Chains A and B, each alone.
Chain A
């Protein structure tokens, strides 16, 4: 069990900066998710923690040890790879036993520990199989068991679910969450899937172009995004982002007129953000957004109504029994307190102290 600290971690390859000055303090037993699009530096950050990549600058602390110069095997971390990284020539049993063997754990302990780890991930009946005789989900479970059997101070998981099909992903996700809470081991988890991040994490670090854009609980990053990137990346459907200008406290764009809370102010070049579920159908002639319906998408549990004022797609999540027609003019309304404002150029959130 350990706290993990990344201090000003940087990775450069020549002129290319992969990870730029990342600092994260991960509490003991915390489940931290590194979330971002591909190439954002999340995997590189994790690989530096594992020792598979050398940082160009900065420090990595695991517990009270500075591990920068330690070999991967001396860092006491266990890693689960996206492609599982199983040993094809060994059986499931030997795969799980491998870390115990190479670490010189007394042979008398092996069997009990292997079987306990296998039982935790429900592999009991498959111990004699070779990896190629297993399904993708079973292979990922072997990789998990191989990580568990060590009882390491830290789990590192690199997109462990992305090679599984959608159904299996959901059940394995629940399993990983349960395991992590049961074993209470500090975990760093890399994913590009915001649903995984939201469901699994104690805290999420949203990364983009090598830097952490926001670090917070899933609720914080969802309800209080720090910038335009986080706002657009988190949430499904994505947050509606409408470019426009503020004149006299009134946000204006084609088809959109919204009064902003607080004292009136002027600010050109802004982006208004509204989550789809914060928009509701307004009575005739009302609503901040008024435009013709572009398309209607019933999802079963709710229905998405899309408009395209000024070419910007705006989506509202409304009741599942909504029946509408494309082309009809509708009004959408949102609570002014649920409106987000960003600077169009820098992407920074515009916060009004009096709002």
Chain B
């Protein structure tokens, strides 16, 4: 039984990671091998594509754009999400309910529906192709999610501990800072990670709203080497490079993520 289970799990792991393995192999193949049919499994590996990516094609500057946009999006939307989520968790009522519903409606809007207005407004305001624009847009797209997630997280923190702190000698704000803030980090970290992934991987918005200065990695990679035969290998090298930070991040925080996700589900 365990053997069967293991066999299934290994098979499933290979099945799930196959696209990534294929991408990785492509990234260290010569273009001629990359295009070979049937696929070549034995070849002379090369790091030439990585070198070209980093040194000639300015991968670092796209990474920088992505980093700024992602960090800005995470910091702003978590700050707003934490404050709003806390308020909605502690002061429910009809207004809170309708605010949450409204947030859900905005979340449900297809991005295509807001793309053109974003484009025109950004042109009109002179924000086109800037980090600020991307941050603003991604925050607005992501905000409903962070509010909802932070709210459900705050709801698992009993109001009792704040009241206890207030009776013990804290002001209203002091009770929040001393009793809630120290225990809210699992929720903040989990929500931050989801926000990070959203901003980091976002393709459509930066594709339309940037040109040269603020272009982010996912858009850049899709265009690497589009002009010739090296397209696949170069793109694959870019895809691997863009994935690694995420893998590292997830590995670092996996315990926290599970904690945070579970915390919403069952009360500690």
Q: Cβ of B170 and Cβ of A102 under 8 Å apart? A: yes
Which residue of chain B is the closest to A82 with respect to CB atoms?
Answer: B160
Find chain A residues with CB under 8 A from B182 CB.
87, 89-90
Q: State which residues 52-84 of A face B: CB under 8 Å.
A: 52, 71-73, 77-79, 81-84
Chain A residues, Cβ within 8 Å of B171: 71, 73
Q: Give A227 to B163 CA distance when docked, in angstroms.
A: 36
B109 at the interface (CB under 8 A from A): no
B169, A73: Cβ atoms under 8 Å? yes
B contact residues around A99 at 8 Å (CB): 168-169
Interface of chain B residues 133 through 188 with chain A (CB within 8 A) = 158, 160-161, 163-172, 174, 178-179, 182-183
List residues of chain A with CB within 8 A of the CB of B165: 87, 98, 102
Q: Are B161 and A50 in contact (CB under 8 A)?
A: no
Interface string of B94-117 (1 = CB under 8 A from A): 000000000000000000000000
A72: which B residues are within 8 A, CB to CB?
163, 166-167
Distance, CA A245 to CA B163, complexed state (A): 52
> B268 — which chain A residues lie within 8 A by C-beta?
88, 132
B168 near A146: Cβ-Cβ < 8 Å: yes
Distance of A355 Cα from B164 Cα, bound (Å):
51
CA distance A132 to B259 in the complex (A): 15
CB distance from A49 to the nearest CB of B (A): 10
- Is the Cβ of A83 less than 8 Å from the Cβ of B158? yes
Complex Cα–Cα for A150 and B167 (A): 11
Interface residues of A in 124-147 (CB under 8 A from B): 132, 143, 146
Chain B min CB distance to A264 (Å): 58
Q: List residues of chain A with CB within 8 A of the CB of B161.
A: 85-88
The one of A85, A90, A102, A132 that contacts B160, using a Cβ cutoff of 8 Å: A85
A345 within 8 A of B: no
A71 to B163 CA separation, bound complex (whole angstroms): 11
Say yes or no for A103: interface residue by CB 8 A criterion.
Answer: yes
B169, A81: Cβ atoms closer than 8 Å: no
Whether A102 and B169, one on each chain, are in contact in the complex, defined by CB atoms closer than 8 angstroms, is yes
Which residues from chain A contact B174 at a C-beta distance below 8 Å?
A: 102
User: Distance in Å from the Cβ of A54 to the closest Cβ of chain B?
Assistant: 13
Cβ of B220 to closest chain A Cβ, rounded Å: 43
Residues of A within 8 A of B164 (CB): 79, 81, 85-87, 143, 146
Which B residues touch A146, using CB under 8 A? 164, 168
Is A78 in contact with B178, judged by CB distance below 8 angstroms?
no
**Within the assembled complex, what's the spacing in Å between the Cα atoms of A72 and B171?**
8
Indicate if the CB atoms of A88 and B183 lie closer than 8 Å: yes
Q: How far is the CA of A56 from the CA of B163 in the complex (A)?
A: 20
Q: How far is the CA of A98 from the CA of B171 in the complex (A)?
A: 14
Give A211 Cβ to nearest chain B Cβ, in Å.
25
Q: Is A71 a contact partner of B179 (Cβ separation < 8 A)?
A: no
Inter-chain contact B183/A73, CB cutoff 8 Å: no
A52 to B167 Cα, complex, angstroms? 8
Q: Which residues of the partner chain B approach A86 to less than 8 Å between Cβ atoms?
A: 161, 164
The answer for the CA separation of A99 and B168 in the assembled complex, in Å, is 5
Which of chain B's residues has its CB closest to A74's CB? B169
Identity of the chain B residue whose Cβ is nearest the Cβ of A75 in the assembled complex: B167
Whole-angstrom distance between the Cβ of A67 and the nearest chain B Cβ: 13
Residues of chain B from 173 to 230 with CB closer than 8 A to chain A in the complex? 174, 178-179, 182-183
Chain A residue nearest to B168 (CB atoms) is: A99
A77 x B158 contact (CB < 8 A): no
- The answer on a CB contact under 8 Å between A89 and B160 is no
Q: Can you list 19 contacts pairing A with B, beta carbon distance less than 8 Å?
A: A50-B167, A52-B166, A71-B166, A72-B167, A73-B168, A73-B170, A77-B167, A79-B164, A79-B167, A82-B160, A85-B158, A87-B165, A88-B161, A89-B182, A98-B168, A103-B168, A103-B169, A150-B168, A156-B167
Which positions in A face B, CB cutoff 8 Å? 50-52, 71-73, 77-79, 81-90, 98-99, 102-103, 132, 143, 146, 150, 156
| 9 interchain residue pairs of minimum CB distance | A85-B164, A85-B160, A102-B169, A99-B168, A103-B169, A89-B182, A72-B166, A79-B167, A73-B169
Q: What would 4 more interface pairs be, CB under 8 Å, given A87-B182, A103-B169? A: A52-B163, A73-B167, A89-B183, A146-B164
